[in-house]
């Protein structure tokens, strides 16, 4: 097991390096840089800027250096926990996204749990009641969840939550709690607001997971050992839970790796619509204003979150399933 | 060694008819056994009713793209300042118990001074009979020549907004129809890109193995580590603002395809890994076929149907992706119209409360995505016609 863990950790290093290179290339892609965008905006507003000041700022931020030097500088900072300087907010990136990243994480984590909590019973029910009306109905509902764009669902649900439940629109807490220290009342308010985004972000993932669990379980239920178990007189509940379900669980855990990028993507969109204080809105804004260190660090952190998620799911799988542990790291 | 007595050989005295086995087949059976693989797939596919319906629906939708200008009652860009944010006009047949034929009631307009909402109420006094196969709003057919022929037009001087109008008084129905051109083709062009990349890279990876396989697998892993929407966002933010909308459109499809190919490449790789040791592949190799020929001519066609099924299943993701990007204002840009661009107007809660018909473009999105999912499901089942 230890060998497997070390192997997995070592494999992560080149992956992360490659991710950092791609991230850096992506944020360098747009023509010009933050200063030139800023400059154009200031010119448009009729302000006069001396050339000297621009050069000074360029030098200050290291924008006049060659690209690879900027990259190494950025990477070096990353390794030391310094994510660079946000031009737009004029603060260190760490400060800008600290809380937001935490909230993104909370959102993603809660959504994974909720997704499981919903997908699990429905998937089992669908598989054991194959081709009944309720199975067809649930499958269709799942498809519908898959097909509806999240952001619109967010909009509509938000409106009705406001009209019928009196929830305030947008944000993750009621307005009076913003900027207040954490308290029980604030926590409750967060919970009140959290369910809408969690439910919405979870829809697509839940639908996919129900379908996979149903398919896996159906495959298992067809196998002879289930027939044997039933023939031996095992009660139906045990004959389902004891072995087939356990076998069908593997993909569930393997799916954390696929689920996380999906969730973070969904969260980005839904957050923009619901104006949640997570990464989404800031990332969109940062990309539009070419606030390169902010955008880059955020993209990088999200990718790292995914890589770590995949690692966790691989380790869990290896722990659960000896075939993987001894199979030399072929997890997916 | 013991000499075992052989049983006596039994010989049938009946005359031998070499075609006897075939006679036993009913014509249906014969058709089944001689059918080609594609024919078997088609029969299998036809059994999946939902998939069949979805296929026809999609065929009709894609067919309509050819003649959007004629079907749409208005031009997508015609503004009408007298009907801004007007609600949908329901078509009627009877006016005061008398058959008039398809018509709509004209609007009477009032500005609500309390919430400054423009209120349009159907006015029973204004019966506006629809015209069919008529001349109406001028348009440029495929940008090639000017015309003004429509399937249906409003009465002279009247309006016909089946799905309401937007903030500039443009007809929603027409805009949705025009938007379909972009939204429906994004998926196809995107899948073409991702299909090519997936087959080529997955094929190389699976066929050669070794370090090149390792390299491609690592690249796939890295690409899959990025959450898709932030990655799409970053890449589309990299497209210069000065680009022509058409370029942006191709840029978007490229982005969607460039990120999507990884799943397909993995599928291709695993199939090729198992197939490359088969006799037919070895025979081709021994006869001196080049790797590109072995992959493209012998290996890939043997699981093409699976590839088509999985490609069909990934088109909806692309359509939703384009919608999401355009919704955030980072995708297709006006004046080009797509369903996402239309939904961009439905960005805040006011719309849900005041102008819910602006959210209607989501209906075709859902329908098309569902249809592709069902079609893909049917294709996947049909891809393996020899199973059970």
Cα(A299)–Cα(B226) distance, integer angstroms: 8
Tokens found for residue A268 = 């980005």
Residue B29, pLDDT above cutoff 80: no
In a domain, B165, yes or no: no
Nearest residue on chain A to B339, alpha-carbon basis: A149
**Residue of higher predicted confidence among B57 and B132:** B57
Which among A27, A144, A152 is the nearest to B234, CB-wise?
A27
> Distance between CA atoms of A53 and A61, rounded to whole angstroms?
12
Sheet holding B98-112, edge to edge: B92-95, B98-112, B117-129
Cis peptide before B335 (omega within 30 of 0): yes
**What pLDDT shows up at residue A37?**
67
CA distance B248 to B254: 10
Q: Is there a single domain that holds both residue B191 and residue B336?
A: yes
Mutation pick from B216, B236, B237, B265 vs chain A, by most beta carbons of A within 10 Å, is: B237
pLDDT at residue A329, rounded to an integer: 42
Q: Tell me what pLDDT residue B368 has.
A: 92
pLDDT at B27: 75
In chain B, residues with a C-beta closer than 8 Å to the C-beta of A26 are 231, 234-235, 238
Is residue B114 domain-resident? yes
Q: Which residues of A275-293 are buried (b: 16+ CB within 10 A; e: fewer)?
A: ebbbbbbbbbebbbbbbbb
Across B141-158, average pLDDT: 81
In a domain, B204, yes or no: yes
Return the CATH number at B277.
1.10.3720.10
Chain B residues 321-350 with CB within 8 Å of chain A: 323-324, 327-328, 330, 343, 346-349
Q: What contacts B119, CB < 8 A, 6 or more positions away? A: B109, B110, B111, B112
Q: Is residue B37 part of a domain?
A: no
Task: For residue A264, list chain B residues with Cβ-Cβ distance below 8 A.
Answer: 227, 229-230
CA distance A109 to A260: 9
Residues of chain A in contact with residue B349, where contact means CB-CB under 8 angstroms, are 155, 158-159, 162, 169
Q: Are residues B216 and B119 in the same domain?
A: no
pLDDT of A258 > 80? The answer is no
Same domain, B365 and B243: yes
Angstrom distance (rounded) from CA B384 to CA B378: 11
Q: What is the CA radius of gyration of chain A?
A: 24
**Domain residue spans in chain A?**
34-82, 95-320
**Which of B183, B214, B227 would best serve as a mutation to test chain A binding (most A beta carbons within 10 A)?**
B227
For A14-18, A255-259, A278-282, B39-43, which range has the lowest pLDDT when averaged over its residues?
Answer: A255-259
In chain B, which ranges are continuous DSSP H helix?
A: 20-23, 27-34, 37-46, 49-64, 68-71, 172-208, 210-225, 228-237, 245-275, 279-286, 291-293, 304-327, 339-343, 349-354, 362-382
A90 bridge partner residues:
none
Q: Are residues B150 and B260 in the same domain?
A: no
B347 in any annotated domain = yes
Report CB contact under 8 Å: A299, B218: no
Query: Tokens 């596919």 label which residue?
Result: B45
C-beta neighbour count of A273 within 10 angstroms: 25
User: Is the pLDDT reported for residue A330 higher than 80?
Assistant: no
In a domain, B166, yes or no: no
Pair B290, B347 in one domain: yes
Whether residues B369 and A147 touch (CB distance < 8 A) is answered with yes
Average pLDDT over residues B303-317: 84
The answer to whether A250 touches A166, Cβ cutoff 8 Å, is no
Share of chain B above pLDDT 90, in %: 5
Q: Which two tokens stand for residue A89?
A: 């907010």
Q: Average pLDDT in the B161-182 region? A: 87
Query: What are the tens digits of pLDDT across the range A182-203?
Result: 677 777 777 777 788 888 888 8
CA proximity to A125, closest of A218, A16, A12, A52: A218
- Strand partners of residue B99: B94
pLDDT exceeds cutoff 90 at B57: yes
DSSP state of B156: T
For residue B58, tell me if it sits in a domain. no
- Residues 220-249 of chain B with CB under 8 A from chain A are 221-222, 224-231, 233-235, 237-238, 240
Question: Which residues, in sequence order, are bridge partners of residue B108?
Answer: B121
The domain containing residue B324 runs over which residues? 174-383
Residue B60 reports pLDDT greater than 90:
yes
Q: How many CB pairs under 8 A join A and B?
A: 128
CA dist., res. B315 & res. B313, Å (int): 6
- pLDDT of B59 higher than 90: yes
Residue B109 burial by Cβ neighbours in a 10 Å radius (0-12, 13-18, 19+) = middle
| Rounded-to-integer distance, Cα A273 and Cα A280, Å | 10
The verdict on B193 and B305 lying in the same domain is: yes
Give, rounded to a whole angstrom, the gap between the first and last alpha carbons of chain B.
Answer: 47
Tell me: pLDDT of A118 over 90.
no
Mean local confidence (pLDDT), A118-146: 83
Q: How many domains does chain B have?
A: 2
Q: Do B153 and B301 have their domain in common?
A: no
Cα–Cα distance, B280 to A8 (Å, whole number): 37
Mean pLDDT of B27-46: 80
B273 in contact with chain A, both atoms CB, cutoff 8 A? no
Q: Which residue carries 């869990």 as its tokens?
A: A316
Third-level CATH fold of A95-320: MetI-like fold (1.10.3720)
Across chain A, what does the average pLDDT equal? Answer: 77
Query: What CA–CA distance (Å, rounded) separates A218 from A216?
Result: 5
In the prediction, which pLDDT does A327 show? Answer: 55
Residues B146 and B192 in one domain: no
Tens of pLDDT, residue by residue over B290-302, are 888 888 888 888 8
Reported as a pLDDT band with limits 50, 70 and 90, residue B24 is low
Please tell me the predicted confidence (pLDDT) of residue A331: 39
Structure tokens at B56: 């026809």
Chain mean position to CA A105: 7
- Which of B53, B226, B266, B346 would best serve as a mutation to test chain A binding (most A beta carbons within 10 A)? B226
Alpha carbon of A307: minimum distance to chain B alpha carbons (Å) = 6
| Angle in degrees, CA B361, B362, B368, rounded to 5 | 100
Q: State the CB neighbour count (10 A cutoff) for residue B221.
A: 19
Q: For residue A19, what pLDDT is reported?
A: 86
pLDDT of residue B20: 67
* Same domain (yes/no): B113, B219: no
Smallest Cβ distance to B240: which of A31, A158, A295?
A31
Q: Is residue B11 part of a domain?
A: no
B316 and B193, same structural domain?
yes
Mean pLDDT of all residues in chain B?
A: 83
CA A145 to chain centre: 18
Burial of A168 per CB tally in 10 Å (0-12, 13-18, 19+): middle
Position A328 pLDDT exceeds 60? no
Of the candidates B235, B328, B370, the beta carbon closest to that of A272 is on B328
Q: By the CB < 8 Å criterion, does B53 face chain A? A: no
3-state secondary structure chain A: CHHHHHHHHHHHHHHHHHHHHHHHHHHHCCCCCHHHHHHHHHHHCCCCCCHHHHHHHHHHHCCCCCHHHHHHHHHHHHHCCCCCEECCCCEEHHHHHHHHHHHHHHHHHHHHHHHHHHHHHHHHHHHHCCCCHHHHHHHHHHHHHHHCCHHHHHHHHHHHHHHHHCCCCCCCCCHHHCCCCCCHHHHHHHHHHHHHHHHHHHHHHHHHHHHHHHHHHHHHHCCHHHHHHHHCCCCHHHHHHHHHHHHHHHHHHHCHHHHHHHHHHHHHHHHHHHCCCCHHHHHHHHHHHCCHHHHHHHHHHHHHHHHHHHHHHHHHHHHHCHHHHCCCCCCC
- Decide if B143 touches A, using CB distance below 8 A: no
- Distance (Å, whole) CA A203 – CA A153: 10
Q: b/e string for B250-260 if b means 16 or more Cβ within 10 A?
A: ebbbbbbbbbb
Residues B324 and B190 in one domain: yes
Tokens 């799916």 belong to residue: A255
Asked whether residue B311 falls in the same domain as residue B229, the answer is yes
Average pLDDT over residues A77-92: 74
Distance CA A114, CA A103 (A): 16
Chain A residues with beta carbon closer than 8 angstroms to that of B234: 26-27, 29, 287, 295, 299
Tokens of A311: 């690692």
**ipTM of this predicted structure:** 0.77
pLDDT, tens only, B222-274: 888 887 788 888 888 777 777 888 888 888 888 888 888 888 888 888 888 88
Judged by DSSP in three states, B24 sits in: coil
Q: Which two tokens stand for residue B115?
A: 């919430």
B368 or A207, higher pLDDT: B368
CB contact under 8 A, A155 and B349: yes
């Amino acid at each position: 097991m230890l060998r497997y863990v070390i192997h997995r950790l070592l494999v992560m290093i080149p992956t992360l390096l490659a991710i950092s290179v791609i991230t850096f290339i992506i944020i360098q892609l747009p023509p010009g840089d933050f200063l030139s965008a800023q400059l154009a905006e200031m010119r448009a507003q009729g302000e006069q800027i001396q050339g000297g000041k621009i050069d000074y700022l360029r030098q200050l931020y290291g924008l006049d250096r060659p690209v690879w030097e900027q990259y190494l500088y950025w990477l070096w900072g990353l390794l030391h926990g310094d994510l660079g300087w946000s031009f737009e907010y004029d603060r260190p990136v760490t400060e800008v996204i600290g809380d937001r990243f935490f909230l993104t994480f909370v959102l993603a984590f809660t959504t994974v749990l909720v997704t499981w909590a919903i997908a699990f019973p429905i998937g089992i029910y669908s598989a054991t009641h194959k081709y009944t009306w309720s199975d067809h109905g649930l499958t269709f509902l799942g498809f519908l969840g898959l097909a509806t764009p999240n952001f619109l669902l967010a909009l509509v649900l938000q409106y009705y939550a406001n009209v019928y439940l009196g929830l305030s629109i947008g944000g993750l807490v009621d307005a009076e709690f913003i900027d207040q220290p954490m308290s029980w009342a604030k926590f409750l308010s967060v919970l009140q607001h959290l369910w809408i985004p969690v439910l919405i972000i979870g829809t697509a993932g839940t639908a996919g997971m129900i379908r996979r669990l149903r398919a896996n379980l159906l495959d298992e239920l067809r196998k002879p050992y289930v027939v044997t178990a039933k023939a031996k007189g095992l009660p139906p509940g045990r004959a389902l839970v004891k072995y087939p379900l356990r076998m069908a669980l593997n993909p569930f855990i393997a799916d954390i790796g696929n689920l996380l990028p999906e969730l973070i993507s969904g969260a980005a969109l839904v957050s923009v619509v619901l104006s949640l204080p997570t990464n989404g809105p800031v990332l969109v804004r940062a990309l539009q204003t070419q606030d390169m260190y902010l955008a880059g660090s955020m993209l990088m952190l999200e990718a790292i979150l995914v890589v770590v998620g995949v690692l966790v799911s691989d380790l869990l799988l290896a722990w659960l399933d000896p075939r993987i542990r001894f199979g030399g790291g072929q997890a997916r | 060694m013991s000499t075992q007595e052989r049983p006596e050989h039994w010989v049938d005295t009946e005359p031998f008819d070499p075609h006897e086995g075939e006679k036993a087949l009913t014509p249906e059976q014969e058709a089944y056994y001689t059918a080609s693989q594609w024919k078997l797939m088609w029969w299998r596919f036809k059994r999946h009713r939902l998939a069949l319906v979805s296929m026809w629906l999609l065929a009709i939708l894609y067919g309509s793209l050819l003649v959007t200008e004629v079907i749409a009652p208005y031009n997508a860009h015609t503004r009408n300042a007298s009907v801004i944010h007007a609600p949908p006009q329901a078509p009627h047949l009877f006016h005061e118990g008398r058959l008039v034929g398809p018509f709509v009631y004209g609007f009477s307009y009032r500005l609500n001074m309390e919430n400054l909402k423009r209120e349009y109420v159907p006015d029973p006094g204004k019966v506006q009979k629809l015209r069919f196969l008529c001349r109406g709003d001028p348009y440029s057919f495929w940008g090639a020549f000017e015309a003004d022929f429509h399937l249906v037009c409003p009465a002279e001087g009247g309006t016909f907004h089946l799905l309401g109008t937007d903030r500039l008084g443009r007809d929603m129905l027409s805009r949705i129809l025009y938007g379909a051109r972009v939204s429906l083709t994004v998926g196809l062009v995107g899948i073409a890109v991702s299909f090519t990349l997936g087959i080529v890279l997955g094929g190389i990876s699976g066929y050669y193995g070794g370090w090149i396989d390792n390299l491609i697998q690592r690249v796939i892993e890295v690409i899959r580590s990025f959450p898709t929407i932030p990655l799409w966002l970053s890449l589309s933010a990299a497209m210069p603002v000065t680009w022509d909308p058409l370029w942006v459109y191709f840029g978007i499809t490229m982005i969607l395809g460039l990120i999507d190919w990884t799943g397909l490449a993995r599928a291709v790789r695993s199939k090729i890994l198992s197939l490359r040791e088969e006799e037919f592949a070895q025979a081709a190799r021994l006869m001196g076929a080049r790797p590109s020929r072995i992959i493209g001519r012998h290996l890939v066609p043997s699981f093409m149907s699976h590839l088509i099924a999985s490609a069909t299943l990934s088109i909806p993701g692309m359509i939703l992706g384009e919608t999401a990007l355009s919704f955030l204002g980072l995708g297709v840009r006006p004046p080009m119209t797509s369903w996402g661009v239309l939904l961009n107007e439905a960005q805040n809660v006011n719309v849900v409360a005041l102008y819910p018909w602006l959210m209607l473009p989501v209906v075709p999105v859902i329908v098309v995505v569902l249809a592709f999912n069902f079609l893909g499901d049917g294709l996947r089942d049909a891809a393996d016609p020899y199973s059970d």
